[in-house]
Amino acid sequence: MARPGVNIDYNQKVITIRGLEKSFDDNYVLRGVDLDLYQGENLVVLGRSGTGKSVLIKIISGLLKADAGEVLVLGKNMALLDSRSLRELRMKVGFSFQNSALYDSMTVRKNLEFPLVQNQRNLSRGEINKRVEFVLDAVGLMQAINQMPSELSGGQRKRIGIARTLILQPEIVLYDEPTAGLDPITSIDINELINEVQQRFKTSAIIITHDLTCAKTTGDRIVMLLDGKFERQGSFDEVFDTDDERVRAFYNYNFTE
Amino acid sequence: MDTTNSTVTPTPKQGKKRIKRAAAFFQDLYKVGAFVGRFFKEAFIPPYEIKELFRQCYEVGVRSLALISLTGFIVGLIFTKQSRPSLSEFGATSWLPSLTSIAVMRALAPLVTALITAGRVGSSIGAELGSMRVTEQIDAMEVSGINPFKYLVCLRILATTIAVPLLSCYAAFVAMMGAYLNVNQNEGTSYSTFIEQAFEPLSFIDFESSLIKAIVFGFTIGVVGCYKGYYSSRGTEGVGKAANSAVVTGMFLVFIEEILIVQITGWFR
C-alpha cells in the first residue's frame, strides 16, 4: 500500500528477482530470494547485520555475481549483459553507498561532474553546471559546491552521495544503510530527502536498513530478510504483527534501546 | 643416534597447506596475467583521457625530479670518486669519463630511476588505489557507469611507462654532471673533452637497451602498484600492505628484469 502522495504503478515491475542464491565460501547468505520492485515504489529491506542485505543490492547493481537465480533490472537479465550494456544499465540505476564513497581527491562539484563528464561527453559546460546545481539544490547543499569531502559532516556526505546518484537521472535508486552512523535528527532529514527524491524524481528505490524509523518513514512496502530468505512482507504494521521471535526481537531492540 | 635418515616427511596437514599455497601462487599468477591482458585490451581504445594522462605523468615525472636530481648527481659523483683510486694505480684516470658513462648508461641511470620510482610512485599508487578500494570509491565509479580499470589503472600504468624512461634520461644527464664536477676538480678536464670521452665508448645498443630497460621498469612499477592497490582488501591494514607490497615486489621484479635484459642485450652486443 503506497503512502499518501506516492504513485506506484503495480502493473510495471522495474526489478524482478527469482530464486537468488549467493554464498561466500561456506557462508550461505542468500538462499532463494524472490523479489519484485514496482515503478515508483520505495521498498525497504530490513534485516540484521550480516544477513546479506547489502549483498542483494550489490548483485542488483552488478557489483557481485549471483551463484544461482535470475535478476531482471528494467527488463534486462543481469547475467546476460556484456560490459557495455551493463554500463548503460548502471546509468539508470543509482547507488547510494553506506559510507557515501565520495571521491576524496575531488571537490563536491567535481564529484558530481565526474559521472556526467564520463558518461555524456557531448554535454556543454553550461549544461553540466546546470545539472550539478540542480541536484545540489535538490539535496539542499548548494553552499558546499567547492568544498572537499573531508570538510563535510556525515549527513552532508550522505546528501552529496545521494546527489551524485541523481545526477545521471536514474530510474531506480539503491540506498545502502542511508541513516547508518547519523544522529536521529540528521537521520530524519535523510529520510525526508529519500521521500522527496521518490516524489520529485519519480524514482523507484530499494532501501537497505536496520533502522526501523527509516523503514517506517520511507517504505511503501517492507520485506524482512531472515536466514537468507524474505520471510515477512507488507506494510510496516503487517510485518511486525507476528509472534515470530526473530521479528519481535528486532522490533523490541529498535524501539527500546 | 641414527643420522642416516634426516629427511623430514611433511604431515598430511602440512602437505595440504603447501598444495593450497602453490594453488594460490598459480591463481595469483593467472590473475596478474589477466590484469596485464586487460590493460592491453582497454588502454588503447577510445575514449582517451589525455588530460588525466598528463596529470598522472606530472605526478610521476615532475614530482620525482628533485629526488632524481639529487640521487643522480650523487651517484655520478660518488661512482667517479670511488673508481679513481683503482684507475690511478694504473695511471688510467683519463678513462674515468668513459667508465662512468658506460656504467651510468648501461645500468645505473635506469636502475636508480626505477628503484626511486618504485619507492615513491609505486607505493603511492598502491596506497591510493587501495584506499579507493576499501572506501568503495572504485565501486562507486563502477555503479556510475564509469570503467574504473581504464580510468585508474590504464592511465597510471601508461604514465609510469612514459615517465620512467624520461626520468632515466634525465638521471643519466645529472649523473654525468656529477661525474664531470669530480673529474674537472681532480684532473682539470674541460667540459668538451669530458663529453667527447664520455660518448666515445657508447654505441647505439647502449642507448637502446637503456631505453628499453626504463620502459620495462616503468611498466612493471605501474602494473605492480596498480595490481596491489586495485585488489587490496581488509580495510586500512590492506592499504598499508598494498603500498608496502607494491614497493617490495616492484623492486624485486626490477632487479630480475635487469638481469634478464642485460643477458639478452649481451647476445646482441
Where do runs of H (alpha helix) occur along B43-154? Answer: 50-60, 65-89, 96-103, 109-117, 123-134, 137-143, 148
Going by the DSSP 8-state scheme, the letter that residue A80 receives in this structure is G
What is the C-alpha to C-alpha distance for residues B6 and B98, in angstroms, rounded to an integer?
55
Q: Is residue B208 over pLDDT 90?
A: yes
Contacts of B146 in chain A (CB under 8 A): 114-115, 118-119
**% of chain B beyond a pLDDT of 70:** 97
User: A64 touching B, CB under 8 A?
Assistant: no
Query: pLDDT: is A231 or B230 the higher one?
Result: B230
What is the C-alpha to C-alpha distance for residues A170 and A168, in angstroms, rounded to an integer?
6
Contacts of B249 (CB under 8 A, 6+ apart): B224, B228
What is the C-alpha to C-alpha distance for residues A207 and A204, in angstroms, rounded to an integer?
10
pLDDT given at position B145: 92
Contacts of A205 (CB under 8 A, 6+ apart): A41, A42, A43, A172, A173, A174, A175, A194, A197, A198, A218
Return phi, psi of residue A219, to 5°: -85, 130
Average pLDDT over residues B100-119: 96
CB contact under 8 A, A90 and B145: yes
User: A158 touching B, CB under 8 A?
Assistant: no
Q: Is residue B2 over pLDDT 60?
A: no
User: A236 touching B, CB under 8 A?
Assistant: no
CB contact under 8 A, A164 and B144: yes
pLDDT given at position A248: 83
Q: Is residue A168 over pLDDT 80?
A: yes
What amino acid occupies position B124? S
Q: Using the structure block, give the residue that is written with the C-alpha cell 542483494.
A: A56
pLDDT given at position A240: 86
Length of chain B: 269
Cell numbers that stand for A120 in this block: 555524456
Cell numbers that stand for A179 in this block: 541513516
B28 confidence band (pLDDT: 50, 70, 90): confident
* Closest by Cβ to A119, choosing from B132, B140, B145: B145
User: A121 touching B, CB under 8 A?
Assistant: yes
Contacts of A176 in chain B (CB under 8 A): none
pLDDT given at position B6: 55
Shortest alpha-carbon distance between residue B136 and chain A (Å): 5
A131 confidence band (pLDDT: 50, 70, 90): very high
CB contact under 8 A, A118 and B140: no
Contacts of B132 in chain A (CB under 8 A): 103
Interface confidence (ipTM) of the complex: 0.91
CB contact under 8 A, B135 and A99: yes
pLDDT, tens digit, 9 for 90 and up, residues A178-206 = 999 899 999 999 999 999 999 999 999 99
Contacts of B145 in chain A (CB under 8 A): 87-88, 90-91, 115, 118-119, 168
A47 located within any domain: yes
What is the C-alpha to C-alpha distance for residues B250 and B210, in angstroms, rounded to an integer?
18
A221 located within any domain: yes
Contacts of B139 in chain A (CB under 8 A): 63, 95, 97, 101
Q: How far is CA A197 from CA A12, A89, B43, B49, in A?
A: 19, 20, 37, 33
Average pLDDT over residues A57-72: 95
CB contact under 8 A, B137 and A61: no
The sheet carrying A93-96 orders its strands as A93-96, A172-176, A204-209, A42-46, A221-226, A229-234
CATH code for the domain in which residue A218 is found: 3.40.50.300
Q: Is residue A38 over pLDDT 60?
A: yes
Which of A118, A131, A168, A176 is the best residue to mutate to test the B interface, defined by the most B CB atoms within 10 Å of its own CB?
A118
User: B146 touching A, CB under 8 A?
Assistant: yes
Average pLDDT over residues A84-102: 94
A232 confidence band (pLDDT: 50, 70, 90): confident
Question: Containing H/E element for A17?
Answer: strand A9-24
What is the C-alpha to C-alpha distance for residues B243 and B226, in angstroms, rounded to an integer?
10
Residue-range definition of the domain harbouring residue A250:
41-52+92-256
Q: Is residue B239 over pLDDT 90?
A: yes
Q: Is residue A173 over pLDDT 80?
A: yes
Q: Is residue B3 over pLDDT 90?
A: no
Q: Which residues of A92-130 are buried (b: 16+ CB within 10 A; e: fewer)?
A: bbbbbbbbbbbbeeebbbebbbbbbebbeeeeeeeebee
What is the C-alpha to C-alpha distance for residues A253 and A244, in angstroms, rounded to an integer?
14
> What would the DSSP string read from start to end of B208-246?
HHHHHHHHHHHHHHHHHHHHHHHT--SHHHHHHHHHHHH
Q: Is residue B246 over pLDDT 80?
A: yes
Shortest alpha-carbon distance between residue A175 and chain B (Å): 12
**% of chain A beyond a pLDDT of 90:** 77
Q: Is residue B86 over pLDDT 80?
A: yes
User: In chain B, what is the straight-line distance between the N-terminal and C-terminal CA atoms, in Å?
Assistant: 58
A98 located within any domain: yes
Which of A81, A87, A113, A171 is the best residue to mutate to test the B interface, defined by the most B CB atoms within 10 Å of its own CB?
A87
Average pLDDT over residues A4-18: 90
Q: How far is CA B267 from CA B99, B118, B255, B257, B262, in A?
A: 21, 28, 19, 16, 9
Question: Containing H/E element for A208?
Answer: strand A204-209
Q: Is residue B85 over pLDDT 60?
A: yes
Average pLDDT over residues A150-167: 95
pLDDT given at position A47: 87
Whether A93 and A60 have beta carbons less than 8 Å apart is answered as: yes
Average pLDDT over residues A75-97: 94
A206 located within any domain: yes
Q: Using the structure block, give the residue that is written with the C-alpha cell 535528527.
A: A185
CB contact under 8 A, B147 and A87: yes
Q: Is residue B40 over pLDDT 90?
A: yes
Q: Is residue A2 over pLDDT 60?
A: yes
Size of interface A-B (CB pairs under 8 A): 57
pLDDT given at position A246: 83
Q: How many domains does chain A have?
A: 1
Q: Is residue A255 over pLDDT 80?
A: no
CB contact under 8 A, B139 and A99: no
pLDDT given at position B54: 97
CB contact under 8 A, B137 and A102: yes
Contacts of B20 in chain A (CB under 8 A): none
Q: Using the structure block, give the residue that is written with the C-alpha cell 523490541.
A: A252
Query: Over chain A, what is the mean pLDDT?
Result: 92
Closest residue in chain A to residue B139, using alpha carbons only: A63
pLDDT given at position B42: 93
A144 located within any domain: yes
Contacts of B144 in chain A (CB under 8 A): 90-91, 95, 114-115, 118-119, 164, 168
pLDDT given at position B221: 97
**Per-domain boundaries in chain B:** 36-268
pLDDT given at position A249: 82
CB contact under 8 A, A118 and B151: yes
User: B137 touching A, CB under 8 A?
Assistant: yes
